[in-house]
Amino acid sequence: MGTRIKTFDSTGLAPNGRLYAGDLNAMQDMPADLYNLLQSVGVGSLVLGESALQLVRYGVGEARISGMLRTDGILRGLGGLYAGAYTTTQRDAIAAGSRPYGLIILNTTTNQIEWNKGTDAAPNWQPIAPVLGAGVITNSLLADGSVDSRVLADGSVVAVDISGTLKPSVSAAAGTEALRALGTGAAQAAAGNDIRLTGVSNISTPGGNYTLAAIDAGGLVRMNVGGANTCTVPPNSAVPFPVQTIINVTQWAGGQTTIAAGAGVTLRVIPGLKLLGQFATCSLVKVATDEWLVSGNLTA
């Protein structure tokens, strides 16, 4: 109980609705208790300045505030923080004024934690982490001691096992070039078409002028053209081959093949960029962002 200003005594029950001086004790005690920080006050709900904004008991061991809550300090969720669960449809129906930049939700349609990267007026929902199976790289050690590394679901797989075996494959769904680790022994024999690290990861056989594609990294391009033809090295902005990429190009038919530089690309070569003849081969090594070293059976 708070502190009384003064204590009054009464001598009995005052007649005709009057108050004895002692009744002032109780009147003082009521407002005094509102400022007693040592007491516990039990209420069903607490109205905070407006009827629509209340702090209420929600359930056993749980309270609920009927509107938005802002804290000027750190909010500590000692038992964890739970983001509101919405389907995509429900998320998109969140009313303006309640979806500020930085709002975090759980999208139960995509099973992802998302945040609003946009504004309240024009929300732009982005996943905080990628969905497992759409670009997440996982690694596991197989029973035979080989390492199985893969990018799940989208068909983009890059893996090398301890035996040094690569298997080229193309995703039926996405058309993504993939290298997948094979096992050893029977599993390897059953899979077939494996290429050792001493070989190449892919063989392309263009029938006309050709611009190198991502699938050609580490592979062999056979220019199978009857007349003069060109194999073009694209700029990094078009095909971002990693530096140290090696691509082999061979003149597979009678038409002479010329290696050409795409926009902004520098080719370092001596004596020239034309292949000597049928089955002549050269190697292209990426040494910088838009710089390649070309060497092999070449002529000016």
Q: Choose the final residue of a domain: 169, 196, 223.
A: 196
Same domain membership, residue 291 and residue 220: yes
Computed over every residue of the chain, the mean pLDDT equals 77
Residue where a domain stops, chosen among 127, 147, 174 = 127
pLDDT digit string (tens) for 75-100?
A: 888 888 888 999 999 999 999 999 99
In a 3-state reduction of DSSP, which class is residue 31?
helix
76 close to 92: Cβ distance less than 8 angstroms: no
Enclosing domain of residue 254: 203-299
- Answer yes or no: do 222 and 257 share one domain: yes
Q: For 108-165, how does the pLDDT look when each residue is reduced to its tens digit (9 = 90+)?
A: 998 999 999 999 999 999 998 655 444 444 444 444 544 444 444 444 444 444 444 4
The residue out of 70, 99, 127 marking a domain boundary is: 127
Partners of residue 168 on adjacent β-strands: 179
The DSSP result for 189-202, as a single string, is HHH---EETTS-S-
Together in a domain, 191 and 268: no
In a shared domain, residues 223 and 288: yes
Q: Are residues 291 and 236 in the same domain?
A: yes
> Is the domain of 61 the same as that of 104?
yes
Q: Which two tokens stand for residue 232?
A: 């073009």
In a domain? residue 21 = no
**Same domain as 271, residue 186:** no
Residues 192 and 213 reside in one and the same domain: no
As a whole number of angstroms, the distance between CA 246 and CA 138 comes to 26
| 156 assigned to some structural domain | yes
Question: 38 pLDDT band (50/70/90 cuts)?
Answer: confident
pTM, full prediction: 0.39
CA angle (299 as vertex; 295, 300 as ends), nearest 5: 115
**How many domains is the chain partitioned into structurally?**
3
Instruction: Look at the alpha carbons of 185, 187, 193, 194 in this order and tell me if their dihedral is positive or negative.
Output: negative
Same domain, 219 and 293: yes
Whether 266 and 210 share a structural domain? yes
192 with 207, same domain: the answer is: no
Helices and strands in the chain, H and E counts: 3, 23
